Structures are given as C-alpha cells and as structure tokens.
C-alpha cells in the first residue's frame, strides 16, 4: 500500500515535470500545427485565466470569502496597463507592477468598507462593486476609452519594444508557475494556516490569537494583487482593455475551473482551467448550442466530480496522505522545552471577582470568584447546564460580563478574545474545533501563530527569515506531537484521525501557543483508556512545567486523579471547592449531580 502510494507519488511528480516541460516547449509544437498563433493564443489566455483562478481560489477556497468581483479586478488590472502604457507611455513592466498595485489597493478598499458584512452579503457587495467599476470605466471618457475600450496594448519588451508572442507565452507560463508557488508558499505558511483556521472556525482561530479582520484584509489584498496581475497580462495578450472583460458572465470560466479542478486545492485551479479551456476548445463548433452544452457539462461534472478533479483525488485511496512511521529513537531525539517563562510557583495568573452573566432573565453565571494559579491543575465540575462553559466564555472574553471583573496577571482583562489569548490564555472548546481539512502537523503549527515573526512577504518569497522560523516551528511541532504520540499521523488530515487522537491533537495545538493558562473543556470525552493515559501524562507534565491547567470534565474518575483543586458549580454559583476527596464526599455535590433521593413524595 505504502509502496504503491510512493510509486504513484513519483509518477505524479514526474508527470508534473513532464507537463511543465511540454508546456514550455508548446510554442515549438504549435509551430508544427496549421494554426500556430491561434493555439498559442488560446493556451496563453488559459494561462492568464489560471492565474486569475488561483487568485479566486486564495480568496474563496482558502479565505472563505465569496467574491463576485474578480472579473472586475481583472478588468481594472487591464485598464491600469492600457492607460499607463497607451496614454502615459509608461514602460510595460512598470505598468504591470501598477496593475498589481491597483488590484491590491482596490481589493483592500472594498473589504475595509465591508468588514461587517458576512458570507452572502459580502458576496453581494462584491457584485455591486463589480457593476460600479464597469460602469465607471464606461463613463470614463477618453481616459478609459469609454465603451470602446483602449486598443493597442502591447506586451513589454526586453531588448526590443515588444516580446514576440512566443516569448510572451513563456513569460506567462513562468509567471503562472511563480503564482502557483506563491499560492503554495502562502498556504503552507503560518499566514495560510491561520487563514484556513479562520475559514474553518473563526471561534477557534480567535482563541488561538488570530485577529479575523486583519487576516481577511490581507488575504483579500493578496488575491486582489494577483487578479490585477492576471488582468494586466491578459490585456497584453489580447492587445486591448475593455469593460466587458469585467462582466461576471464572461467570468464563468473561473468559477467553473475552480470547482471542476477542486476548490481549496493547490493544483485545482490550474487543472480546472485546463479542463474548461479544453472543453471550450472542443465545443467551439456548436455555435448556438454552446452555452447549453457548457451548462450541461458543468452540472454533470458537479454530480460526477462534486469535489473537483484534485479534490476527488485527495479523497481517494491514492491521494490521501499516509501514516509515516518513526522509530522510537527518532521520537526520543526531539528536544522540547515547554516550561512556562516569567512565572513563579503558585503565582495567581487569572482571577475573577463576583463574575456574573445573565441572558435575559436567566442567570447563567451568578457571582463566581475563582483563582487559577501556576503549576496547578484546577478542575471545574457541575451538572449539565450549570454554567461552566459560560463561565469560561466570560473569562476568555467571548461574552461581555454582566457584572464583576476578570484580572489576568494582575491587570484587568482586555475585551477581545484574541487579545486575551495573546496574554497567554488558551482555550480548547468542548466540541472538537480542529481544522479538519488541514494536516495534523499544520494544525499544531497554526497554534504557533503568536511566535511567527515573519511577514506575509517573507512567507510568499520564503525568505531566510521565514525558512529559519518555519524550520524551528516545525521541529517544535513535531516534538509536541511526539509527546502526545501523534507523530506518525503528522501528514494525515485532522479529519481522518480517530476521535481520541483529535482531542489529543487539540490539546497539543493549544500547548503550541505557549499558554500560561490552558483551559480544557471536556478533553476526555470519548477517549479510550490508553488515550486517557497519554492525556493524563501530558496534563501532569504541563502543570509541572508551571502552567495553570483548567479542566472542565465530566469524566470525574479522570479528573479526580489529576486535579489539585476542584470547584463545583451549580446554577451559576460555586457550591463547593476543595481537594477531589473533599468534593466527592460533599452531599450538596451528590444532590446536584444525581438529583435528590427524596423526590418520590413530591412527584406524586
């Protein structure tokens, strides 16, 4: 199985290399056909489309932001080039750079205006913006050439005034490969992981210290920049800029390509565009039936290949990643320092005073004062609905307080969850909030967000700074995985590992944020005994290293063995606090948990 996987992998790598080589040689091949310039043209245009589709993939696939304005961005990139070279006689290369700038700036403006809008509404804003941009171009008079557009755009030259179509083709192909690499670097970087984290679960991402808005702006800016580039290149290939380029109807190919190839996959946009361009080429003779055939094929593809070509492959036996076997020596060789810095033993890290949270008339949390100390495992128990999770949400800034106060490291707690997270308070949710489509290793790396000290440019171009930081993070993440016995699974997608492993992974990811306080909401639910043992060992180790571990748990057996102190909550109030033994014998606690024994009369 594994060997067949490796063979296939080699075949794929070799196939890709051959495909790239063939693509570079395509102009020579085209020359042997009866219509060289035409074949060069359609492949060149497809290359531009692939760049735009990658941009769309970054935005919709990885960023989860629905954009109906990418055709508009493409149009604007084209006009940037056309206006600068034709009206202002700029150098073509500089004009291309400006196309990138125009795309990025426009995208940033749009998203800054619409940060509050979510999902569908954001999509509608982009649609509106697209219409506005097209209308503005049409009304632009001689500046934009109005309805007629600007004709006569030329490819830039190196030694001559203008590249030959063959040279420009090679240039386009190189750019596409570059854009693919940028996409890959972005996706595999901390920035990319965080973006996907945000898409999959804004809540968890926030808990890991990621600021949603800053990320959305950045991802949209990158996407806009690439769309501007694609538009600039297209205008050079076609020789003109026209408002119709911005029409959503003409942009169908991008959406179709994205879904056919596989959204949220790296190669999906390129393969998808290749498929669509081929289909368009093959059915070009159907004339009046053109859109009918296209629409029909599209629906058919969605039914047969609902995840797209690459997506289906990824989900297949061959395409999904496999367990990597590490031997014990390798596992032992990892060096890991997880001691909590700047903290003394038994220091008060977080405390609340008379904290209350009311939802309408319901007093979910009703005057709770609680103290978490370093090096301590603090259990919180209570029947369902007693207010434990609400309490945690209050402590970590997810709910505004009705009354009372929270102090972290002696200072009043900030209001935003991601700011609290950045002070060293990391929360693991009750329901698994893993980024299921990302690998186990990537999930842990996402947790290292706060440590990443490189910019988005470092990530895109893989600067030494990025490489160094990334190597260090990866090493550390592996060490953490080794600690939880998950090293062999590092390449698997988080969605494919067992339930118990997922819970462990979540804890590991939280530890990766280097918290001072780690809050675990029912981590033991559904774990097998051996997994429980690993979890127990991990938690003890963390406490020993000086961390304050807060444990909300129903598996009291598990908790009682581990906790230094247990707080019992019922109906939003603390009803008991003490060592596990004390609490277990407390009658009030038994009543709260099991109900009273003397109901029979009252029930009658």
Partner 1 sequence: MDLQIWVEGLYIGSVYALIALSMTVVYQPTRIMNFAQGEGFVLGAAIGYQTIGVWHWPVWQAGAALILLAMAMGYVMERMVMLPVQLSGNRFAWIIATLAAALIFQSLFNLPYANVTFGYFEFFKTRANIFGAHIAMQKILVFTFMVFAAVFYDQLLKRTLWGRSIRAVAHNNDTSIILGIPTKLVIKVAFISGTVLIACAGFLAAPVIIVAPASGLFFTIQGFTAAIIGGVGSPKGAVAGGLMIGILDSVVRSSLGGTWGVFSTVMALALILVVRPNGFFGKRVVGR
Partner 2 sequence: MSNLELKNLTITYGGAKALNGLSIEVKEGEFVALLGANGAGKTTSLRAISGLLKPTTGSIRFGGEDITKLSGYKRVALGIGHVPEGRQIFPDHTVDENLQLGSFIKRKSYKEVSQTLEEMFGLFPKLRERRKQMAGTLSGGEAQMLAIARSLMSRPRILMLDEPSLGLAPQMVLEMFRYLKKLHAEQGLTILLVEQQARLALQLASRAYILERGQVKIAGLAEDLIIDKRVAEAYLGTSH
Partner 3 sequence: MIRRKIIITALTISAMIASTVSATAVDRPGLVPHSVWKSGQAVIKVGLIAPMTGVFATLGVNQRNSLQVLADSINAAGGIGGAKIQIVVRDGGLDPVASTNAAKEFAGDSSIAFVMGPSISSFYAGAAAYYEANKKLNCQAGVAALDFTDYKYGFRSQDFFKDDYAQELSILQRKGVKKFGMIYEAGSTGIAADAFFKDSAPDYGLTYLGWQVITSTQTTHDAELQKLINLGAQAVDISNNAYGAYTTQAAADLNFKGILFGGSGSQNIAFQETGGDHFVGTLMAAPNYQFPIRDKSTWMPGYKAHIDAVVKQYGVTTGPKSGSTSPNGTAIEADCLYAFAVASNKARSFDSTKVRDQMASLDIPAINTPSGVRIHPGTNHNFYSADGISVYQWFKDANGWYTVQVNGLAVLNAKCTIVGWLMHRSNGAPLICTKVGTNLYYKAQSA
List interacting residues with partner 1 (CB under 8 A).
60, 64, 66, 113-114, 116-121, 124-125, 127-129, 131-132, 135, 138-139, 249, 252, 255-256, 259, 263-264, 288-292, 294-296, 298-299, 302-303, 306-307
β-pair type (548-552, 565-570): unpaired
State which of residues 525, 540, 573, 578 lies at the interface with partner 2 (CB under 8 A): 525
Return the number of the residue (141 or 360) whose C-beta is nearest partner 2: 360
Please, what is the minimum distance in Å from the beta carbon of residue 247 to partner 3? 7
Among the residues of 337-463, which ranges form H helices?
388-395, 417-422, 440-446, 456-461
β-pair type (150-151, 240-241): antiparallel
Does 596 sit near partner 2 (CB under 8 A)?
Answer: yes
Whole-angstrom distance, CA of residue 266 vs CA of residue 32:
32
Find out whether 63 and 202 touch, Cβ atoms under 8 Å: no
State which of residues 2, 25, 471, 590 lies at the interface with partner 2 (CB under 8 A): 590
Whole-angstrom distance, CA of residue 532 vs CA of residue 507:
12
Binding-residue pattern over the window 102 to 141 for partner 3, x denoting contact by CB under 8 A: ------------------------------------xx--
Does 242 sit near partner 3 (CB under 8 A)?
Answer: yes
Backbone angles phi, psi at 512, to 5 degrees: -60, -20
Whole-angstrom distance, CA of residue 189 vs CA of residue 445:
9
Residue-wise over 216-251: b if at least 16 C-beta within 10 A, else e? bbbbbbbbbbbbbbbbbbbbbbbebbbbebbbbeeb
Binding-residue pattern over the window 137 to 156 for partner 3, x denoting contact by CB under 8 A: -xx------xxxx-x-----
Return the number of the residue (109 or 214) whose C-beta is nearest partner 1: 109
Token pair of 307 as six digits:
């995840």
Does 485 sit near partner 3 (CB under 8 A)?
Answer: no
Whole-angstrom distance, CA of residue 75 vs CA of residue 134:
8
Whole-angstrom distance, CA of residue 532 vs CA of residue 526:
9
Please, what is the minimum distance in Å from the beta carbon of residue 555 to partner 2? 7
CA-CA-CA-CA torsion for 71, 72, 73, 74, nearest 10 degrees? 50
Binder of residue 172, out of partner 2, partner 1, partner 3, none (CB less than 5 to 8 A by kind) = none
Does 586 sit near partner 2 (CB under 8 A)?
Answer: no
Binder of residue 303, out of partner 2, partner 3, partner 1, none (CB less than 5 to 8 A by kind) = partner 1
Whole-angstrom distance, CA of residue 225 vs CA of residue 31:
34
State which of residues 77, 417, 432, 523 lies at the interface with partner 2 (CB under 8 A): 432
Binder of residue 250, out of partner 3, partner 2, partner 1, none (CB less than 5 to 8 A by kind) = partner 3
Does 314 sit near partner 2 (CB under 8 A)?
Answer: no
| H/E run at residue 362 | strand 362-373
State which of residues 442, 458, 521, 522 lies at the interface with partner 2 (CB under 8 A): 522
Closest to 449 measured CA to CA, from 182, 64, 189, 187:
189
Closest to 176 measured CA to CA, from 12, 330, 26, 312:
26
Question: Which of positions 128-187 make contact with partner 2 (CB under 8 A)?
Answer: none
| Residues 6+ away with beta carbon under 8 Å from 323 | 488, 489, 491, 492
Return the number of the residue (231 or 268) whose C-beta is nearest partner 3: 231
Binding-residue pattern over the window 340 to 379 for partner 2, x denoting contact by CB under 8 A: ---------------------xx-----------------
Please, what is the minimum distance in Å from the beta carbon of residue 69 to partner 3? 18
| Residues 6+ away with beta carbon under 8 Å from 231 | 52, 73, 74, 75, 76, 77, 78, 79, 80, 81, 99, 103, 245
Find out whether 379 and 385 touch, Cβ atoms under 8 Å: no
Find out whether 505 and 443 touch, Cβ atoms under 8 Å: yes
Please, what is the minimum distance in Å from the beta carbon of residue 522 to partner 2? 7
State which of residues 239, 385, 410, 537 lies at the interface with partner 2 (CB under 8 A): 385
State which of residues 165, 496, 574, 575 lies at the interface with partner 2 (CB under 8 A): 496
Half-sphere exposure of 564 (CA within 13 A, CB side): 17
Return the number of the residue (22 or 292) whose C-beta is nearest partner 3: 292
Residue with tokens 């380029």: 245
State which of residues 31, 284, 453, 467 lies at the interface with partner 3 (CB under 8 A): 284
Does 286 sit near partner 3 (CB under 8 A)?
Answer: yes
Find out whether 481 and 508 touch, Cβ atoms under 8 Å: yes
Whole-angstrom distance, CA of residue 468 vs CA of residue 5:
30
Return the number of the residue (146 or 404) whose C-beta is nearest partner 1: 146
Report the chain's C-alpha Rg in angstroms: 29
Does 70 sit near partner 3 (CB under 8 A)?
Answer: no
Token pair of 37 as six digits:
């310039």
Return the number of the residue (187 or 241) whose C-beta is nearest partner 3: 241
Return the number of the residue (149 or 523) whose C-beta is nearest partner 2: 523
Question: Which of positions 545-564 make contact with partner 2 (CB under 8 A)?
Answer: 554-560
Binder of residue 94, out of partner 3, partner 1, partner 2, none (CB less than 5 to 8 A by kind) = none
Does 174 sit near partner 3 (CB under 8 A)?
Answer: no
Does 587 sit near partner 2 (CB under 8 A)?
Answer: no
Please, what is the minimum distance in Å from the beta carbon of residue 82 to partner 3? 12
Whole-angstrom distance, CA of residue 329 vs CA of residue 267:
36
State which of residues 378, 502, 509, 516 lies at the interface with partner 2 (CB under 8 A): 502
Closest to 232 measured CA to CA, from 91, 414, 337:
91
Please, what is the minimum distance in Å from the beta carbon of residue 449 to partner 1? 23
Kindly list the residues in this chain that would bind partner 2 in the complex (CB under 8 A). 361-362, 383-385, 432, 495-502, 522, 525-526, 554-560, 571, 580-581, 584, 589-590, 593-597, 599-600, 602-603
Kindly list the residues in this chain that would bind partner 3 in the complex (CB under 8 A). 34-38, 41-42, 45, 138-139, 146-149, 151, 234, 238-240, 242, 244-245, 247, 249-250, 280, 284-288, 290-292
């Amino acid at each position: 199985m594994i060997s067949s996987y490796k063979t296939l992998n080699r075949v794929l790598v070799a196939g890709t290399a051959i495909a790239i080589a063939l693509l570079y040689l395509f102009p020579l091949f085209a020359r042997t056909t009866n219509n060289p310039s035409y074949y060069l043209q359609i492949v060149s245009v497809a290359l531009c489309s692939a760049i735009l589709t990658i941009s769309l993939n970054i935005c919709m696939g990885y960023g989860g932001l629905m954009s109906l304005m990418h055709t508009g961005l493409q149009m604007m990139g084209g006009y940037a080039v056309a206006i600068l070279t034709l009206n202002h006689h700029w150098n073509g290369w500089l004009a291309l750079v400006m196309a990138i700038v125009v795309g990025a700036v426009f995208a940033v403006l749009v998203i800054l205006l619409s940060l509050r809008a979510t999902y569908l509404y954001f999509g509608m804003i982009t649609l509106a913006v697209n219409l506005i941009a097209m209308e503005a171009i049409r009304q632009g008079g001689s500046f934009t050439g109005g309805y007629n557009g600007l004709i006569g755009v030329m490819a830039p030259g190196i030694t001559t005034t203008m590249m030959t179509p063959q040279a420009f083709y090679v240039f386009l192909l190189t750019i596409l490969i570059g854009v693919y690499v940028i996409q890959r670097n972005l996706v595999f970087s901390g920035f990319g992981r965080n973006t996907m984290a945000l898409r999959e679960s804004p809540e968890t991402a926030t808990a890991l210290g990621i600021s949603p808005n800053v990320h959305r702006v950045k991802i949209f800016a990158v996407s806009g920049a690439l769309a501007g580039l694609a538009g600039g290149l297209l205008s050079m290939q076609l020789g003109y800029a026209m408002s119709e380029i911005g029409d959503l109807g003409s942009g169908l190919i991008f959406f179709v390509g994205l879904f056919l190839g596989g959204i949220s996959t790296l190669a999906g946009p390129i393969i998808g565009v290749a498929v669509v361009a081929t289909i368009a080429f093959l059915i070009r003779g159907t004339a009046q039936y053109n859109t009918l055939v296209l629409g029909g094929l599209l629906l058919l593809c969605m039914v047969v290949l609902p995840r797209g070509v690459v997506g289906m492959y990824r989900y297949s036996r061959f395409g999904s990643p496999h367990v990597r076997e590490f031997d014990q020596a390798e596992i032992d060789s990892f060096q890991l320092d997880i001691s909590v810095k700047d903290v003394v033993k038994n220091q008060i890290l977080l405390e609340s005073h008379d904290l209350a949270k009311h939802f309408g008339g319901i007093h979910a949390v009703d005057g709770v004062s609680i103290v978490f100390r370093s090096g301590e495992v603090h259990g919180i128990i209570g029947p369902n609905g007693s207010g434990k999770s609400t309490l945690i949400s209050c402590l970590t800034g997810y709910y505004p307080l009705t009354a009372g106060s929270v102090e972290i490291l002696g200072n009043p707690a900030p209001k935003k969850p991601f700011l609290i997270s950045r002070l060293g308070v990391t929360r693991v949710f009750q329901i698994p909030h893993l980024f299921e489509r990302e690998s186990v290793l990537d999930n842990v790396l996402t947790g290292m967000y706060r440590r990443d000290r490189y910019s988005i440019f470092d990530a895109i171009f893989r600067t030494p700074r990025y490489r160094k930081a990334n190597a260090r993070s990866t090493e550390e993440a592996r060490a953490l995985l080794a600690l939880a016995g998950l090293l062999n699974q590092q390449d698997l997608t988080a969605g494919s590992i067992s339930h118990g492993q997922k819970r462990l992974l979540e804890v590991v990811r939280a530890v990766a944020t280097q918290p001072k306080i780690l809050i675990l909401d029912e981590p033991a639910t559904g774990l097998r005994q051996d997994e429980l043992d690993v979890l127990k060992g991990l938690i003890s180790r963390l406490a020993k290293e000086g961390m304050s571990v807060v444990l909300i748990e129903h598996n009291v057996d598990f908790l009682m063995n581990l906790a230094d102190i247990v707080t019992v909550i019922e109906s939003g109030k603390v009803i008991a606090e003490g060592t596990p033994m004390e609490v277990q014998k407390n009658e009030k606690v038994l009543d709260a948990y099991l109900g009273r024994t003397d109901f029979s009369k009252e029930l009658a």
